[in-house]
Structure 1
Amino acid sequence: MKNTFIWLLLHIGLMILPAINGLNAQSLAGSTVEGNVTVADGSPAAFATIRVKGSKNVTAADKNGHFMLTNLLPGKHDIQISMMGYETNSQSVTIEKGKPAQVVVQLKPGHNQLNEVVVTGQYEPQSLKKSVYNVRVIDSERIRLRAPVNVMGVLNNELGFRFSNDLTLGTTDVQLMGMSGRNVKILLDGLPMVDRGDTRESLNQIDINSIDRIEIVEGPMSVSYGSDALAGVINIITKKPGSEQLGITARIQEETANQDYNFLTNQGLHIQNVGVTWQKKGWNASAGITNNTFGGWQGQSIGRAKEWLPKDQLFGHGKLGYRTDNATIYYRLDALKENLLSEGPANVNTNQARDQKYITYRYVHQLQGDWKTSDRFQLNTQASYTDYQRRTQTTILDVTTGRRTLSLGEGEQDVSKFSSQTYRVTASYKASSIVSVQPGLDINLDGATGARIQGSPTINDFAFFVSSTLNPTSRISIRPGLRFIKNSVYDAPPVIPSLNTKFALTSTLDLRLTYARGFRSPALRELYFNFFDASHSIKGNPNLKAENSNSFNGSLAWQPTRTFKSTLGFFYNSFNNLISYGIDPNDPRISMTINIDKFKTTGATLENVFNWKDLSATIGFSYIGRYNNLLATPDTVSYANGQLTTFMWSPEVNTNLTYTLRAIDTKVSLFYKYSGKRPNYLATVNSDGQVTATLTEIAAFHWADLTVTKPIAKFLTLTAGAKNLFNITRLANNSTDTGGAHNASGPSPVSYGRSYFLGLNFQWYKN
């Protein structure tokens, strides 16, 4: 923002000086330099600063990376292009009288990535420093350095994130700041993703190669994004076209699964990706395809069975858009086909094995548009349609003859289908430099069918929301918000409020304080989805109540220099009617979704980001407490070790280190995280009916990845390294609380162990 402010002052000065000095138009006449600025992946370097060295001639690139410098005298000039988070680029330009010059620049990632531009929850893209939300950003450079296979491989090193794995179904769920995945809103370019069950498996069903960055907002965002946003929002933002006329990218990566590996197929992990972008005269198009193959890992299973199921994912996306200086519109399709194979052990008596294949199809259609009529008013429209289905196909294999027949067992041939429509319109009006207003309309229509679905239920949610940004002084920003909801299944509260504030205590110290009321109506999957097989006995509950919460968040950000930033965050969330799993009162063998009367989470985080010469680093710490539900009935519960504690605490420490060896143009990165033990109180009932609380826990563990990245040719970059250096596979676990009813007591699965990888990335752009 400092550069933008200087730019405005200089331009005002350039407009006033001619009048003051009596200069005539002829004396000001000169040539121009016009150009485009992009970053490493070809996307536009929006709002980059461009200046003529040794003069006051300065401008900024627009949102498309385009810029123009005017009134340059003939001769040789040095043009400097800079942008926060990237290395300054210098271009020497020789200008002839009356002839415009062209400059095309691509910026390289640098070490000052402390003021990213964010979009989640904003009226328009703005710097992180100005945002009233405390937003965490994982940029494209960090994603590239991690060489991930999926989104989980990016988030597992972040503070407050934990993942739980269901080896039977081959799915993974996310937990954020002590809350389960059902309370985390997953967005793709600002639009919600659909999941079949209560787990957020959609996180791992997004093509990692199409992602530009990930923005994370902790705490309720119910006013802006509605249901499921009680714990926070993860907004996955895909790559946008840059200034290139034509671009071709490709990626291939080979990775072991513990000690299992076979080149290009079967054992290990194999990634192949190719993408192309094109644009001309405002039109732009892109397409890409990715194949992720995981051969599985046998682990402690025997015979044909594998502990980690083989998975084959085929992603495809296509996009067509048109943009002008004041408007943008595009259509995007994301498609997925995923196959999971669970091979059962052979029966020694019958020589038969029971195999299950889980086949998922996901099609996400998006239509988005922006229209800026003036500097005061702009309109954003979004529409999406998701068609999602998961098929279970069970067969009986005769191991001797190789013949397969379909199994006729209950629930062993099944298709569950979910559809979701989202329509969203927001307008932003800047009444003055003090007051801005954003009204919006949000419509969500969800439906489901299938043998495991009770009937063909639908839930329709209509909402009107409005927020305003008030800036009574340059140091204070206040953003109140209200959301009005009409739900077809539940009587929603008449209004949901929120209040976000930001105080610039000094030029280097910012305080953010937030209160938000959360509301979440039960999803179709929690109400009507029944799931019974050899390992699961779960049913939905049509009598669930809607969840609501009161949340308080705060953060104190200190940035004394451009190369150091420290943020202290704290939160307290109180939930009523939180939906979780419990025992069916009519059948103790069955789990069902139930409302917990009360649940709370609280904690604090400390994150430090600094850059020194060729070292870029983040060091963070968190301490998160989850409420002990057994306190609700203290008179009927006994605890052998004394008094029950209100909160069960768990610490985390993480660090990301990247060192650049400039002599050989190589980056070495270490990603480390310590996850402390996770305690839980488990209630048991003895023969006398006395309830006893037992302290259980999931063990602590260390996780570390090491990567080395080096350009080996003009368009080629080599990436190699090792993941899970501590070779973690399972954690000691004497608790049933591992994140959902899909898990049981016993060792908690984390990974298939240490792996090694080698990847090659190709990038070619024509401007």
Structure 2
Amino acid sequence: MRLKITIIFSLLSIYLGFSQEKANDSIAIKKIQEVVVTGQFSPQSIKKSVFNVRLISAKDIQNLAANNLSDVLSQYLNISVRPSGTTGRSTVSLFGLDAQYFKILMDGVPLVNETGLGNNIDLSQINLNDIEQIEIVEGSMGVTHGANAVSGILNIVTKKSSQYKWNISLIAQEETVKKEFSFFEKGRHIQTLKIAHTVNDNWFISLGATRNDFRGFLDTKKGKNYSENDQNRGYRWLPKEQLNGNALISYKKNNFNIFYKFEYLDETVDYYNSTVQSGYNTQLGSYRYSNDKRYLTNRYFHNLNSAGKLFSKLNYNISLSHQKQERNIEDFSYYLQTKTERNNLTTKDQSMEVLYSTGTLSNFFQNQKVDLQLGYEFVNNKGFSLIQEANNSIVAIHKVLENYDFFISSEIKATEKFSIRPGIRVSAQSKFKNQQASSLGVRYLFNKETEFRGSYGTSFRTPTFQELYSKQIFDGHFFAGNENLIPETSTSYEMSLKKTSILSSELQISNTFSGSFLNIKDRIDMALVRFNPDTGNPEYEYINVSKYRMWNVSTTNQLKKENWSFNLGSSVIGVSQKLENQIFTSNEKYLYAFNLNSSVSYTLPKLTTTFSIYYKFNGKTQQFVEGTSEYIISTIDSSHWLDFSIRKTFFKNKLETTIGARNLLNVTNVNQTKTNEGAGHSAASQIMLAYGRSYFLKITYNLNF
């Protein structure tokens, strides 16, 4: 019943928005256009973009008191953030597709992680202390952004200028972890320093550093120094400390721009074993210890970008990037009586080093109705990983994957209202057969601020390093990568209709209705491929076996009146998959999910105070899992997410405070049914979504002159 009411309300709001006429053309105001850069020939207003681009502004990030990308994306439609308390990672899912199909970039350059480039990024590792805005494009972006941009891309646009000569910001944020908090031992503690200097009209430099100290979540666990062997030692969510640093130097003069950006991440995740061991020696007598671990991750990001004009005519934009992310594992014995560590051994576990370059050339014609863009992309991936062969033999593998891509795109402005954008990309792969991507986008501007966009696109996803080369063989278990995998291919269709009604200088309504369809072939899945003839044990391997189809219908609606801002969005997603193993095949029926999000913001100008509420409803989802003799449907329960904040400035914006609460509805775990059916059990399992309601206080001191 709630679902029907919400859909009816959303459709009614669309109808009302489209049926509204301007009360008086003479009172229509000229809006300040939001400028986007993702997928464009050059920065331009969001209205002129052929792609349907969603923006997350710096103001939204401030209102959420967000420190990393995970804090932000959990509130947005069609996006699901999947945190893991046992690994410390948070990844993103778009339209039900996991993080391997969604590409994350910074200033147009895909970000590296220890297993790949651009996809499967840990959101908690992306710091937001120098962000201008975040741009999200849903749908196939294979022509402009290459492999793995199947379900969409997210581009983080960083700040490269300031209105002040000097801008110095000191930020301190304290946050509870559910009810757990103390200034040094519990909770979340964040400190940030930012310094920016406009040297003159041409030069700009900035430096930043952030420490994010998450002290873990105990829940019913007893922590690091608990010495009883009853499985209560350790943490429910692992402690994690991150150190982020960044630097930027930028030069602009006439039609020439160049900047160099550097980022560094150092992350430590502590794992405390729940099993306590007992021992004896002549020095210590009886003692207790535990075999613990540390996961040590570091990332370097270098990006040199230049943009301008060649021969006073052609527009160029070139980026050259060198990145590396490495994860080491430190094993050690922790002695509980003396609280000391011994037998520390650090091993390199995974790494990925990337040399990346992309560039475009456009503005070939004097005719403003036609534009042409030529582009290239070069990627050199050097991957490393440890794999576990039979008899617990650990083997190191080193592999290099390269691709050389060239693409061409054109934007044809047939009329002032109608634009067409075709494009094609060819990718020469070192490991796989050459791949292609194509697209065709259209935009039509109706009268009375109504915009139509439609697109068709093909794309591809190349197998990850793990899917190709991983191996785990232990105690009768066999899970292996497959070097014979081929890239997945996809076809997608999108359309959207947007209506903006400016009813007065103080009232504006915007309504968007969109739909999409995605079809993926040769999808890669871990599947049962054989039974060992000697032991009879099942053996699993990554193979191109699965099919995936998805359709989505969504609506977003925004109302702005004076100091009020109200947003309401909803979507319905249908997913059909074909899964196979050695024994049986899944049903290809569509499984559906409903999502809803809303936000309300109100500003009191006299008090320089903004009140914000963000709400997200994730409807129940279903998926096929292996049963004893067939694939069966497993259901994940629905969940609600509610955030609230109050942001106020003092002393002419020199001091800013934000107080609020995350996860006000106190969500922790949700049930997933039938996950153990194949093992002869039918009880539901628990999925950790969050650690419950938490409260935060953020204080920012800005010295601007």
**What TM-score does the superposition give when structure 2 sets the normalisation length?**
0.85
Q: Distance in 2 between matches of 1:533 and 1:309?
A: 26
Q: Is the 8 A contact 2:670 2:689 kept in 1?
A: yes
Q: Distance in 2 between matches of 1:537 and 1:340?
A: 28
- Displacement after TM superposition at 1:589 (Å): 6.6
Q: Distance in 2 between matches of 1:161 and 1:541?
A: 30
- Displacement after TM superposition at 1:155 (Å): 0.5
> What does 1:151-166 align with in structure 2 at a 5 Å threshold?
151-166=69-84
CA 1:208–1:585 in structure 2 vs 1: closer, same or farther (change >3 Å)?
farther
CA 1:84–1:141 in structure 2 vs 1: closer, same or farther (change >3 Å)?
farther
Pick the aligned partner of 2:97 from 179, 182, 188: 179
Query: What count of residue pairs does the alignment treat as equivalent?
Result: 633
Pick the aligned partner of 1:359 from 296, 310, 335: 296
Tell me the equivalent position of 2:235.
306
> What does 1:67-146 align with in structure 2 at a 5 Å threshold?
84=31, 115-146=33-64
- Alignment of 1:610 with 2:544, yes or no, is no
- Displacement after TM superposition at 1:172 (Å): 1.6
- Displacement after TM superposition at 1:710 (Å): 0.6
Q: Distance in 1 between matches of 2:312 and 2:362?
A: 10
Q: Distance in 2 between matches of 1:462 and 1:309?
A: 40
Pick the aligned partner of 1:443 from 350, 368, 378: 378
Q: Is the 8 A contact 1:382 1:424 kept in 2?
A: yes
Q: Distance in 2 between matches of 1:716 and 1:374?
A: 48
Tell me the equivalent position of 1:6.
none
- Alignment of 1:673 with 2:602, yes or no, is no
Q: Distance in 2 between matches of 1:338 and 1:354?
A: 21
Tell me the equivalent position of 2:430.
488
- Alignment of 1:729 with 2:649, yes or no, is no
Tell me the equivalent position of 2:550.
601
- Displacement after TM superposition at 1:645 (Å): 6.5
Tell me the equivalent position of 2:595.
652
CA 1:419–1:745 in structure 2 vs 1: closer, same or farther (change >3 Å)?
farther
Tell me the equivalent position of 1:625.
574
Q: Is the 8 A contact 1:342 1:355 kept in 2?
A: yes
Q: Distance in 2 between matches of 1:540 and 1:447?
A: 17
Q: Distance in 2 between matches of 1:447 and 1:271?
A: 33
> Cα RMSD (Å) of the superposition?
2.5
Residue-by-residue CA offset, 1:157-187 (whole Å, 9 max, x unaligned)? 0001112233332212210012110011110
Tell me the equivalent position of 2:23.
none
Tell me the equivalent position of 1:461.
403
Amino acid of the structure 2 residue aligned with 1:269: R
Pick the aligned partner of 1:190 from 108, 111, 127: 108
Q: Is the 8 A contact 2:104 2:111 kept in 1?
A: yes
Residue-by-residue CA offset, 1:461-485 (whole Å, 9 max, x unaligned)? 0011010000111111000001011
Amino acid of the structure 2 residue aligned with 1:625: G
- Displacement after TM superposition at 1:542 (Å): 1.4
3-state DSSP of counterpart to 2:71: helix
Structure with the bigger RCO (C-alpha within 8 Å, sep 6+) is 2
> What does 1:79-478 align with in structure 2 at a 5 Å threshold?
84=31, 115-197=33-115, 200-263=120-183, 265-281=184-200, 282-302=202-222, 303-347=232-276, 349-350=278-279, 351-373=288-310, 376-406=313-343, 413-431=347-365, 432-452=367-387, 455-478=397-420
Q: Is the 8 A contact 1:346 1:352 kept in 2?
A: no
Q: Is the 8 A contact 2:672 2:685 kept in 1?
A: yes
CA 1:598–1:516 in structure 2 vs 1: closer, same or farther (change >3 Å)?
same
Tell me the equivalent position of 2:625.
682
Q: Distance in 2 between matches of 1:560 and 1:278?
A: 40
Q: Distance in 1 between matches of 2:293 and 2:134?
A: 34
CA 1:694–1:346 in structure 2 vs 1: closer, same or farther (change >3 Å)?
closer
Q: Is the 8 A contact 1:583 1:590 kept in 2?
A: yes
CA 1:592–1:762 in structure 2 vs 1: closer, same or farther (change >3 Å)?
farther
Q: Distance in 1 between matches of 2:585 and 2:541?
A: 23
**What TM-score does the superposition give when structure 1 sets the normalisation length?**
0.79
CA 1:569–1:243 in structure 2 vs 1: closer, same or farther (change >3 Å)?
same
Q: Is the 8 A contact 2:112 2:121 kept in 1?
A: no
Tell me the equivalent position of 1:696.
634
Q: Distance in 1 between matches of 2:75 and 2:541?
A: 32
- Displacement after TM superposition at 1:275 (Å): 0.7
Pick the aligned partner of 1:514 from 451, 455, 463: 455
Amino acid of the structure 1 residue aligned with 2:521: N
Q: Is the 8 A contact 2:620 2:638 kept in 1?
A: yes
Amino acid of the structure 2 residue aligned with 1:332: K
CA 1:234–1:749 in structure 2 vs 1: closer, same or farther (change >3 Å)?
same
Q: Distance in 2 between matches of 1:423 and 1:387?
A: 15
CA 1:388–1:348 in structure 2 vs 1: closer, same or farther (change >3 Å)?
closer
Q: Is the 8 A contact 2:58 2:133 kept in 1?
A: yes
- Displacement after TM superposition at 1:652 (Å): 0.5
- Displacement after TM superposition at 1:285 (Å): 0.9
Amino acid of the structure 1 residue aligned with 2:371: S
Pick the aligned partner of 1:565 from 505, 510, 515: 510
- Displacement after TM superposition at 1:116 (Å): 1.6
Residue-by-residue CA offset, 1:482-533 (whole Å, 9 max, x unaligned)? 101110001123x421101111132421111110011122132321234689
Tell me the equivalent position of 1:49.
none
Residue-by-residue CA offset, 1:61-93 (whole Å, 9 max, x unaligned)? xxxxxxxxxxxxxxxxxxxxx9956xxxxxxxx
> What does 1:520-559 align with in structure 2 at a 5 Å threshold?
520-530=461-471, 539-559=480-500
- Displacement after TM superposition at 1:330 (Å): 1.1
CA 1:84–1:277 in structure 2 vs 1: closer, same or farther (change >3 Å)?
farther
3-state DSSP of counterpart to 2:363: strand
Q: Distance in 2 between matches of 1:314 and 1:745?
A: 38
- Displacement after TM superposition at 1:400 (Å): 2.8
Tell me the equivalent position of 2:14.
none
Q: Distance in 2 between matches of 1:538 and 1:384?
A: 34
Worse-matched range after superposition: 457-466 or 661-670: 661-670
Q: Distance in 2 between matches of 1:231 and 1:463?
A: 20
Amino acid of the structure 1 residue aligned with 2:374: P
Residue-by-residue CA offset, 1:719-742 (whole Å, 9 max, x unaligned)? 0011100000101112559xxxxx
Q: Distance in 2 between matches of 1:83 and 1:532?
A: 65
Q: Distance in 2 between matches of 1:173 and 1:520?
A: 17
Residue-by-residue CA offset, 1:640-659 (whole Å, 9 max, x unaligned)? xxxx5621110001011101
Q: Distance in 1 between matches of 2:432 and 2:595?
A: 38
Residue-by-residue CA offset, 1:625-672 (whole Å, 9 max, x unaligned)? 111325x79x9669xxxxx56211100010111011234221100000
CA 1:401–1:250 in structure 2 vs 1: closer, same or farther (change >3 Å)?
closer
CA 1:122–1:527 in structure 2 vs 1: closer, same or farther (change >3 Å)?
same
Q: Who wins on radius of gyration, i.e. which is larger?
A: 1
Q: Is the 8 A contact 1:582 1:594 kept in 2?
A: yes
Q: Distance in 2 between matches of 1:594 and 1:645?
A: 18
- Displacement after TM superposition at 1:592 (Å): 4.2
Amino acid of the structure 1 residue aligned with 2:685: G
Amino acid of the structure 2 residue aligned with 1:579: I
